[in-house]
Amino acid sequence: MLNEVTVITHNGPYHADDVLAVAFLKYYAVKKIIWVERRQPTPEELDNPLVFVLDIGGIYNPSKKNFDHHNNGETRSTVYQLCKYLFSPELFAKLEKHILIPVSNHDLGITRQGPGSISNIISGFNNLKSFNECVEWCIPMVNMFVKNAIKSIADEKRWPKLTKSNGVAINESEDYIANWHELAYQDNIMFLVCPGRDPGTWQVVSRDTTKFTIPSNAGQHIVFSTGHVIVFDDFAYAVAMADEYSNMYAKTIEHEADE
């Protein structure tokens, strides 16, 4: 971690690319940013590794802390480049999938995101917040993305240790595996049994309600109208019902495995 750095980025309207790049840098990579200037960098600043030049300058050279993607053949945006430099390959891969590729593609005009996307929300602050205010607003979000990525990595190591049988996985821990849907698909798992929100309850969760909808049951504590989750008061009964649901959809999972 560097002690003190200067950051230079472009002036004019800001975007998710440059704002998030500064937020990631400020929260995870340096102890102190002396100042953020929004202007063109000088040749001396481009050559100074204590000056991070982000989204401007026309140069991509991580050793000199130059992270621009304009006019230099780079096909990923500045925040993508910077995070690839800052984080381990394992952590970067998680951030890449869930935040960096969507933001990069939006910034480059490859895939435009909808009104409620991070990219459009940040752009919408131009008339309400200064650049530095928007960076501060984004820091808790950046923190969330990194912590979720770290947990996702840990969960992937926990997943193989769960009891799995007949398309059902059982997680008896209160520590929910947030990305279990992706992991379940690889193992042909249709349902997860895990603790419910209310103490002493157990829920059966469908991996995909378009394929494996959970029907109501006389012994249920509660069931979602979407058929996504059903909650029982007894663990053994929840496991038995998950097994029964799995048998209902055995043909579906066989067809999925053949795809």
Token pair, residue 246, equals 């799995």
φ, ψ dihedrals at 211, nearest 5°: -120, -35
User: What percent of the chain clears pLDDT 90, i.e. is strictly above it?
Assistant: 77
Residue 218: per-residue pLDDT: 80
For the segment 17-23, the average pLDDT, to the nearest whole number, is: 96
User: What percent of the chain clears pLDDT 70, i.e. is strictly above it?
Assistant: 94
The per-residue pLDDT of the chain, averaged, comes to 91
Residue 257: per-residue pLDDT: 57
Token pair, residue 91, equals 């952590």
Buried b (16+ CB within 10 A) or exposed e, 152-177: beebbeebeebebeebbbbbeeeeeb
For the segment 165-193, the average pLDDT, to the nearest whole number, is: 94
Give tens-digit pLDDT for 34-93.
778 899 999 999 999 999 999 999 999 999 999 999 876 677 999 999 999 999 999 999
Residue 5: per-residue pLDDT: 85
Q: Is the pLDDT at 215 greater than 60, yes or no?
A: yes
Q: What is the pTM of this model?
A: 0.84
φ, ψ dihedrals at 184, nearest 5°: -65, -35
Residue 259: per-residue pLDDT: 58
Per-residue CA distances from 254 to 159, 193, 247, 248 (Å): 22, 21, 11, 12
Query: Domains plus CATH for the chain?
Result: 2-155 (no CATH), 162-258 (3.10.310)
β-bridge pairing 30-38 and 2-9: parallel
Q: Is-contact 191 245, C-beta < 8 A?
A: yes
